[in-house]
Amino acid sequence: MRVGLFIPCYVNAVFPEVGVATCKLLDYLGADTGYPLDQTCCGQPMGNAGFENGAAGLAGHFDALFESYDYVVSPSVGCTSFVKENYPRIREREGHTCGTSGKIYEVCEFLHDILKVEKLPGRFPHKVSIHNSCHGVRKLHLSSASELNIQPFSKIKGLLSLIGGIECVEPEKTDECCGFGGMFSIEEPAVSVCMGQDKLYSHIATGADYITGADASCFMHMQGIAKREKRAIRFIHVVQILASGL
């Protein structure tokens, strides 16, 4: 199984340890992992800002770069969902068929649905509050959406249950938005901060030592608020916990 590792811009620049943990975890689980050095932005910022046509060149480059891999795996909910949902339309307008939208997976999605991981060696003796990001819930179905009348589930919680010593909790209103929303946080900063405060406080109310989840962009938003307000809560990407014993 050849896996192409896609590390988004903000992970590479702000959270490189998340990319390293993802690579370590995939290697441990036996994937033949490759990291194309010429990878660039997937084009999500352009798409979110209403300039989707500006992402056409990036989509073509992405397809060419990862075409030889069986799967593409990324530690980013937002970028993964952009490739999955937007690339087919973008590539079709250019007269091409998208070759990567059907084989890209967010890392937790990949571990749970494709590799079906049942055992990991790590220990993380802390109480963690799980942050369910909007794209993860409603685009990638990493957990059940609260507005649906279905049996609740959480793939992230299932994976974390494989780690020794961990205690997992969730905040009230488990899938309420933290207010980041990419361009939304730039265009509506006051509203975005208020939403971030509400979400941060609900995580803190669980008594958790850490906030964890699958999207570091949400962490970047809430972590900024926590730092300004001198809140003691810490943040850690779920893949770092899953790779803690490696």
Give pLDDT tens digits along the chain (246 positions): 999 999 999 999 999 999 999 999 999 999 999 999 999 999 999 998 889 989 999 999 999 999 999 999 999 999 999 999 999 999 999 999 999 999 999 999 999 999 999 999 999 999 999 999 999 999 999 999 999 999 999 999 999 999 999 999 999 999 999 999 888 888 899 999 999 999 999 999 999 999 999 999 999 999 999 999 999 999 999 999 999 989
> Whole-model pTM?
0.94
**What's the CATH code, domain 2-114?**
3.40.50
Which of these, 40, 20, 23, lies nearest to 31 by C-alpha position?
Answer: 23
Which of these, 52, 189, 66, 76, lies nearest to 139 by C-alpha position?
Answer: 76
β-pair partners for 106: 74
Asked if 2-114 and 127-242 have one fold, the answer is: yes
In the chain, where the domains are located: 2-114, 127-242
C-beta of residue 101 within 8 angstroms of C-beta of residue 32: no
- The CA distance from 158 to 3, in Å, is 23
C-beta of residue 130 within 8 angstroms of C-beta of residue 154: yes
Decide if domain 127-242 falls under CATH 3.40.50. Answer: yes
- The CA distance from 70 to 184, in Å, is 34
